[in-house]
Structure 1
């Protein structure tokens, strides 16, 4: 067997490449690890993959992940796709969706002010090959926010656009293809600022000082929008601690739910009260419209000192329009009594389970409908760390067919015919089996020799094979095979290299000698 050594130089200018070597075949990837404290039982949890976009928390607790980006995980913690390099800047609202009948990925790409929670950028749509096929932007000169990108009927999208009047928030519906504004609503035209949870005489740095256009008084802070089948909108105003149903025909407020000044359109049962919420969604309603259900993420906190409850909760609320009352249909309290001062979302799954992303608290949970915790994990951090966050998180089905070829590395030694082969395919969801071959060049003819196969094991699969010691040049190739035994892709051929262990940080600038090819 001929083992080749190659020059290896790790550039000190690219610390993300000096990875933690989770994967031999992709040492350039350093995804966050899920710290799973309640393991998923496949018989109880909903089928699907987990979509998050972890990023470092805020000082003084901030650290990691080394590569903040959108990620797809299995609920056993195995990585499916790292979006590093695919989506730049701060990412949010990462999940599958449907556009023009095709299942796609969508995500916000831009910048975010940690102090005020203001985001500027645009929304991307990726196909099943993880190629960007559309950047959704308005024709207007204003940048859209990352708070919302709700695709409606596969054709249009609800977005939020921050305006300064000295400060206002506008919610637009855009045509995805053209960027044309289909509907526009401005909070200042319909909602009185004097009833904000943060009136002008009680400003703090978390909602704007009002001294500049960037630091304007954010009395409303729109952070989610949904649309029902009647064409009306559900608007969440975090700094108003209230939800608003807005007429899609006139823009007028149909009703207000919540608020801290007694101006709610409903009597809200004490067990159903919420504050500083995120991610309000229409769920369903009775045929006569008298009973309506909504979901939301109840932060119950705006800062370490501004709280209405010690911990955050996922919520399903029942609105009785005949009686004018609201009660809690279901409440999903945070495990470990997590308090998320910012961010978060609640997703009702097809099997009636509920998936909750705890925002600033850096965790995700799947509940049974009755509140039993079926799965719980922290995003690359310990319980209560608040050091890694994700604006929203989802559990949804997805089929990925990466355009890039599988990555393979083969490690051997002069002392043995054993070769350790490691293979991965970033974003692939269909491979169930890997086949491995040696390709030997005999004159002008390449001879293919089967070495073995292995069932897929998570993101990276490892197999140890025996090779011939004939001294002929050969290269290793891996083939990805699906459950129907169809070959999906083939890796590029690689030579067997010496089985040196990954470099430590102290060794990362050293170079190994090149063995001259014979």
Structure 2
């Protein structure tokens, strides 16, 4: 997360005074009554601002996503974000290439945030995972205390993964392995003598604790502690001082974990400017790249600092999101960096870099991932941008959240969402016609919408149809029938789901 703790505010959800809510079964329908500009007493009344989505007025505060470079020969799939700002709805968000929402879920109260929404595989099936919790903790800015959520393609919760022991899981990474285990970090504040670094003898150190947990049983299989292998003298982060001298010293700041091709662990520590390879059996550090004790000679163009998201690529090279800025500024631009490692020669050689056309510098957060077709995808962290690149580095998609937002990471992936609830619709009378607004949160197979209407729910003889146009599709029914139903259709015209029958006038 950011170095500044994010404030969290309660959001009042509602559709305004003209909204009428109706529900049947698992679905919810929304109908907007035409009061002719008067309140329920007949007196003139101010009209409430219309909701962003008439079919889902509860999503009034959902942030807009702007696409500045339209998609051009992009990889298939959707964009996965976790928008964060001082106001608005907190929760995992999926959008399409046009920036239209595909799925959103508000995180539960009180005051929790969602971070790092992505597609993974669990038990050989696609799942969505993200972290929920609070940011801040025991004096460490950007330190999380929470748990991980795993949901299936129907958006049903499979399980929540929690840390073993008394601590809570940090938000910085969550990796499901082919063995059905989960890798993630814990920030553990421990008593520590910091006099050698100029701090207090009764100081506190934030230890980076890596756990591997069996997802099904919750049993801890492996644990690794940074302080057993990496000394505080390797850090570039300043000690807390003054009245904050006894707050935890976040010397390591682990922010990613992954698997190398041989099964060993790959770790990024932002505050030591180092990428580590760790023996998964013994916990020994096999090598360091970068920082004060690098085991490799690193060429100038491959040097990174304040980095995130260290990964192995399919061709054997490695990648990292090089922030280049944090407590200090080492580079004027952040970048996705690719380099090769020659373990025999103990050398690191530059291969490629991916910068943003606006020359962005992201002091915190961010990620850099290889796509299935050889392209790359960057989430710019503290800056609310995301960019897809062709293998040759050409930008083939670029967009952003509102500029007062941020998303810890951003991803591009395919996702077969099939929600189990019903589609929703909103109705409004306009000039003797009924305007039907239909949506289905999370459904990825909808190609067309059909509105059916009539005098009774069982006698819907009138029909109008149109292509899906983003999160919400609007259709116009001539006249003023008594009841309306919205039906979601696939590309072949087959029925995928149907809303409840909603009365036009209440």
- TM-score category of the 2 structures, normalised to the smaller one: 0.7 to 0.9
> Does structure 1 retain, via aligned residues, the 8 Å contact 2:34–2:428?
no
Q: Residue 330 of structure 1 aligns with which residue?
A: 352
Structure 2 residue ranges without an equivalent (≥5): 1-31, 41-47, 192-204
Q: Give secondary structure in 2 for the equivalent of 1:339.
A: coil
> Does structure 1 retain, via aligned residues, the 8 Å contact 2:460–2:484?
no
Q: Give secondary structure in 1 for the equivalent of 2:504.
A: strand
Q: Give secondary structure in 2 for the equivalent of 1:147.
A: coil
Compute the displacement of 1:379 (Å).
1.0
Question: Structure 1 residues 294 and 456, CA, compared in 2 at 3 Å: closer, same or farther?
Answer: same
Q: Residue 32 of structure 1 aligns with which residue?
A: 63
Is 1:402 the equivalent of 2:419? yes
Compute the displacement of 1:5 (Å).
5.0
Q: TM-score, normalised by structure 1?
A: 0.82
> Does structure 2 retain, via aligned residues, the 8 Å contact 1:210–1:217?
no
Is 1:363 the equivalent of 2:363? no
Q: Residue 268 of structure 2 aligns with which residue?
A: 236
Q: Which of 261, 264, 268 is the matching residue for 2:298?
A: 268
Compute the displacement of 1:154 (Å).
5.5
2: CA distance, partners of 1:19 / 1:402: 29
Q: Residue 495 of structure 1 aligns with which residue?
A: 503
> Does structure 2 retain, via aligned residues, the 8 Å contact 1:4–1:495?
no
Q: TM-score, normalised by structure 2?
A: 0.84
2: CA distance, partners of 1:360 / 1:139: 30
> Does structure 2 retain, via aligned residues, the 8 Å contact 1:49–1:397?
yes
> Does structure 1 retain, via aligned residues, the 8 Å contact 2:119–2:415?
yes
1: CA distance, partners of 2:298 / 2:135: 34
Deviations 1:85-143 (A, max 9, x none): 56971111101111112211111000112962101100001122222221111331111
2: CA distance, partners of 1:460 / 1:4: 19
Q: Which of 423, 429, 435 is the matching residue for 2:444?
A: 429
1:459-478 equivalent positions in 2, closer than 5 A: 459-467=471-479, 474-478=482-486
1: CA distance, partners of 2:340 / 2:243: 36
Q: Residue 49 of structure 1 aligns with which residue?
A: 78
> Does structure 1 retain, via aligned residues, the 8 Å contact 2:54–2:427?
no
Question: Structure 1 residues 45 and 229, CA, compared in 2 at 3 Å: closer, same or farther?
Answer: same
Q: Residue 136 of structure 1 aligns with which residue?
A: 161
2: CA distance, partners of 1:20 / 1:328: 53
Q: Residue 378 of structure 1 aligns with which residue?
A: 400
> Does structure 1 retain, via aligned residues, the 8 Å contact 2:92–2:105?
yes
Compute the displacement of 1:21 (Å).
2.2
Q: Give secondary structure in 2 for the equivalent of 1:377.
A: strand
Compute the displacement of 1:270 (Å).
0.2
Q: Residue 318 of structure 2 aligns with which residue?
A: 294
Deviations 1:267-290 (A, max 9, x none): 1110111001001112246xxxxx
2: CA distance, partners of 1:231 / 1:284: 14
> Does structure 2 retain, via aligned residues, the 8 Å contact 1:439–1:477?
no
Question: Structure 1 residues 466 and 154, CA, compared in 2 at 3 Å: closer, same or farther?
Answer: farther
Is 1:451 the equivalent of 2:489? no
Q: What is the CA RMSD across the aligned residues, in angstroms?
A: 2.3
Q: Give secondary structure in 1 for the equivalent of 2:358.
A: helix
Deviations 1:347-375 (A, max 9, x none): 11011111000000111111112211111
Compute the displacement of 1:448 (Å).
2.3
2: CA distance, partners of 1:460 / 1:86: 24
2: CA distance, partners of 1:447 / 1:299: 61
Q: Residue 175 of structure 1 aligns with which residue?
A: 214
Deviations 1:277-312 (A, max 9, x none): 001112246xxxxxx411111011113xx1110110
Q: Residue 349 of structure 1 aligns with which residue?
A: 371
Compute the displacement of 1:194 (Å).
1.3
> Does structure 2 retain, via aligned residues, the 8 Å contact 1:203–1:209?
no
Q: Give secondary structure in 1 for the equivalent of 2:147.
A: strand
1: CA distance, partners of 2:115 / 2:331: 26
Q: Residue 234 of structure 2 aligns with which residue?
A: 195
Compute the displacement of 1:484 (Å).
3.0
> Does structure 1 retain, via aligned residues, the 8 Å contact 2:369–2:378?
yes
Q: Give secondary structure in 1 for the equivalent of 2:317.
A: strand
> Does structure 2 retain, via aligned residues, the 8 Å contact 1:272–1:328?
yes
- Equivalent residue pairs, number: 448
2: CA distance, partners of 1:249 / 1:299: 31
Q: Which of 63, 76, 89 is the matching residue for 2:112?
A: 89
> Does structure 2 retain, via aligned residues, the 8 Å contact 1:352–1:369?
yes
Deviations 1:151-204 (A, max 9, x none): 100500101011122321111111111111111111110112212113xxx425
Question: Structure 1 residues 86 and 448, CA, compared in 2 at 3 Å: closer, same or farther?
Answer: farther
Is 1:278 the equivalent of 2:289? no
1: CA distance, partners of 2:55 / 2:113: 27
> Does structure 2 retain, via aligned residues, the 8 Å contact 1:19–1:27?
no
Compute the displacement of 1:420 (Å).
1.3
Compute the displacement of 1:68 (Å).
2.6
Q: Which of 70, 74, 77 is the matching residue for 2:96?
A: 74
2: CA distance, partners of 1:4 / 1:192: 66
Structure 1 residue ranges without an equivalent (≥5): 10-17, 57-62, 286-291, 382-386, 498-516
